[in-house]
Every structure is written in C-alpha cells, then in structure tokens.
Structure 1
Amino acid sequence: MDFLRWLFDAQLPVGSSSLLVRELLGNIFGLLSALGGMRRKVWAWPVGILGNLLLLTVFLGSIFGSADTATLLGQAGRQIMFIAVSIYGWRRWQQSKTNGDAAVTPQWATGRQRIGLVTVMLLGTVALTPVFARLGSYEPVWADAWTFVGSLLATYGMAKGWVEFWLIWVAVDIVGVPLLFSAGYYATAFMYLFYGCFTLAGFFVWWKAKKNEKPQVEVLMPDIRTR
C-alpha cells in the first residue's frame, strides 16, 4: 500500500512545474515495448501492458490526479484498447512460436487492407470526435480521437505483422505531440517526439527484415530490462 501511495503521488520537479513519476515510468515501459517490437520479441507485449496500466491512471487526470489536471479520454481509452489488442498480439506471437515459426514475419498489407486502414482512420476519427467532446475530452477533440483510432490500427497492424504499422505510428505522433504539449503532459509529449524518429527507424528495420530469412525469437523475458 505504501508503494502504491508513493507511486500515485510521487512527482519530479521540472523547472517551475513537476512531472508524475508514473507518467515517466509508463513511457519508459512503452519505449522498451517498442524496442522489443522492432526486434520482434514476444516480451514486448507484457512490457507494453505494464506501461499502458500506468498511463491509464495518468490520462484519467481528474480521477487519479488533481481536479485541474487535463483529462484526455482518447489517450486514456487507447490504453485500455492497447491492453486488449496486446493480449491478442501476445497470444498470436506465442502461438506462432509454438508452431515452430518466428514470433512474427514482417509482411506488406494488401491493397485492400491499406484502403481499409485509411478508411477506418478517417471515419473513426470523425465518428469519435463528437463522442469525446460530449464526454469532456481536451481540445482539440479531433486530435484526441485521431490518436485513439491510429493507435488501435497500429497495434493491430503490429499483431498482424504488417510493415505499414510503423507509418501509422508516425501519423499518430504528428498529431499527438502538439496535443500532449498543450495539455501539459510533457514527459509523454517528449517521448512521442522521440517515438516519431524511432518509428521511422522501425519501419526500415522491418522493411529490411521482410527480405531476409525468419529470425529466431526470444520468448522469455530478458534478465536485464533496458519504449
């Protein structure tokens, strides 16, 4: 209980403001998960889930934080979505390994699948914007909806092994970084800024891997953990 109380209350001073420790930890887990995803390691999924749980409490600001903390429903909702899709991806990669294959073999989405991704991205944003607005999400609400839908598609694309999922993350980061800075979530905003470069690198890594033989996969968690 003492540890949980510390985790929810602990802050790091940053200039004239402060930074929630759980926001920082959540993004560190996210970074590790992205690194594991680039290397197609099964442990990327459970590590990412831990980060999602921490960030869920961060973005439900008025519930877990002070009353004047911005609530980003799209950001909070996508953490729940991340957990659900990550369980699917985790099981899918483990099953592939059980069958004697690599955790995932990068592949290009078909033309129809690409059209589907773009259509869902646009229509999903339009559909969710008024919903998030009614629920009191932070302005501009469409940006919150965009990051939610894009994150859903990117995580699903990662589970399917589509190389294009990295580009979806780039589209999410382009909108998500300004939104998070304006809402005062500086640690997550800086992390997203880094993700933008990281996801571009990931795209080329998977593109190159698509041309090579299937890699061997590390299934167990590493002894030393360094998203």
Structure 2
Amino acid sequence: MNLIEWLFDAQLVIGDQTILWREIVGNGFGIASAIGGMRRKVWAWPVGIVGNVLLFTVFLGAVFGTPNPVNLLGQAGRQLMFIAVSIYGWVRWSQSRKRVDLSTGTHVAVQPHWAGGRNRLFIIVALVVGTAVLTPIFTALGSFEPVWADAWIFVGSLLATWGMAKGWTEFWLIWVAVDIVGVPLLVSAGYYASAILYVFYGVFTIWGFFTWMRVQRRSAPALPAAADA
C-alpha cells in the first residue's frame, strides 16, 4: 500500500468513534496555513491548498464511502473555493513579496490595513444574502441540517479568504463568525476532529487579529513619511 492509499483509508478509532487521518492531516495543513498567514508568508497559500484537497474528500462522506456517511456540501464546496481564491492570494502576495514593512524594514508579502466602511458593509451584506441564497440550493442537494449553517460557513470562508488576500485586518473576525457556527455543526455531523480544530482556530483567529492590528499600528506613523518620500 503506497502513502496515498494509506492516507485515504487510514482511520483513528477512539472508543466508538472513527476519525479519518486525512481529516486530521488536512486540518493540520490548515493550521500551518493560518500560522503562515499571520506571519504574512507566501507559503501559507500552497500549504493551505494541500489541506483543502484532503478535506474535500472528507466532507463528502457519502460520496467517498467514509465511516461518516454525511455530506456537508458547504464544507466540501468551500474547499474548492479555497483552492481558487488561494491561487489568487498566492499570486497577489507573490507579486508584493518585496514590499517593505514600514515598522520593521523587512520584506513582507502584504501590509495589513483596514477594509474601510464600504467594504465592511459589503462583507456583512454578502454574508447574510449569500447564506440566504445558498441555503435552499444546499437543501435541494441534500446537505446536512441545519443547512443554513453550512451555507453560512461557505460564504464566510469565501469572504475571509478573499479578505486575507487583500490584506484586510478584519478578515480574522470573519473567521471567528465562521467558527462560532462551524463548531456545533461539525459536532452534530460527527466530524469531531474538525470540530476540535475549529475551537483552536477560533482562539487562533483572535490572536491573529490582534497581531495584524499591532503590525498595522506600528506601520501607521511611518506612512506619512513614506508618502512624502
């Protein structure tokens, strides 16, 4: 059995619960990507894509014949969305990787900044409207109940990933909104490894928000001088 076959079939049994190792490994890549994002490293994007590929197979349990025969279409679909948006973010950050952090003088891929009032309003409206539009679609496709939560997670993940690519500090708070809904949904659907890691994500995203906000504040005094130069 080669490594790919082992990774696809390997399971971790804890009591009466069976967890796929690719669910654990996929989320591990997700955590590594989040750490890279907080540090504004370009490698965060390709690392995240690897995790997305693994988790796509996990959340279509009924399709891939996994021990948990539950389809979370929003969770699976967002992995494909992650890949598409991550390619955009990867290119965008790669083009800007020689940007100088004005607070430290070091090269970084992105300079954190506020999204602004108009973009914040767009994010809120897009999250609510997108959830409302996708809920009946996911329901018709047979997604796990409550379907609105699956749709919320999908739309929120899209907006958060897009915000990260743009360098908006608020993108971390969108992840918090996703995690608040995601943890109870994953527990009820039996995806316990992902639910536990979502709790960790929730704490980490708050840390990431304040980290980016500190970087932004340190850079702010240097902006006028840089503009004059």
Q: TM over 0.5: same fold? A: yes
Name structure 1 gaps, 5 residues minimum.
Answer: 215-227
- The match for 2:103 is none
Measured against aligned partners, the alpha-carbon deviations of 1:108-162 in whole angstroms (never above 9, x if no partner) come to: 0110100000000000000000000000000000000000000000000000000
Deviation at 1:2, TM superposition (A): 2.6
Measured against aligned partners, the alpha-carbon deviations of 1:70-89 in whole angstroms (never above 9, x if no partner) come to: 10000000000000000000
Change (3 A) 1:88 1:206: same
- The match for 1:106 is 112
- The match for 1:179 is 185
Q: In the alignment, is the contact (CA less than 8 A) between 2:18 and 2:67 conserved in 1? A: no
Query: Mean alpha-carbon deviation: is it higher for 163-172 or for 66-75?
Result: 66-75
Deviation at 1:198, TM superposition (A): 0.5
SS, match of residue 19 in structure 2? strand
- CA–CA distance in 1 between the matches of 2:21 and 2:191? 12
2:151 aligned to 124, 145, 150, which one?
Answer: 145
Q: In the alignment, is the contact (CA less than 8 A) between 2:186 and 2:194 conserved in 1? A: yes
Q: In the alignment, is the contact (CA less than 8 A) between 1:58 and 1:65 conserved in 2? A: no
Name structure 2 gaps, 5 residues minimum.
Answer: 101-106, 221-229
Percent identical pairs in the alignment equals 64
What TM-score do you get using the length of structure 2 for normalisation?
A: 0.90
2:133 maps to a residue whose letter is A
2:127 aligned to 89, 112, 121, which one?
Answer: 121
Measured against aligned partners, the alpha-carbon deviations of 1:17-52 in whole angstroms (never above 9, x if no partner) come to: 111010000000000000000010111000000000
- The match for 2:224 is none
2:173 maps to a residue whose letter is L
Change (3 A) 1:120 1:80: same
- CA–CA distance in 1 between the matches of 2:58 and 2:68? 13
Residues 1:33 and 2:33 are matched in the alignment: yes
- CA–CA distance in 1 between the matches of 2:203 and 2:111? 23
Residues 1:130 and 2:130 are matched in the alignment: no
Q: Number of paired residues?
A: 214
Aligned CA-pair RMSD: 1.5
Change (3 A) 1:128 1:180: same
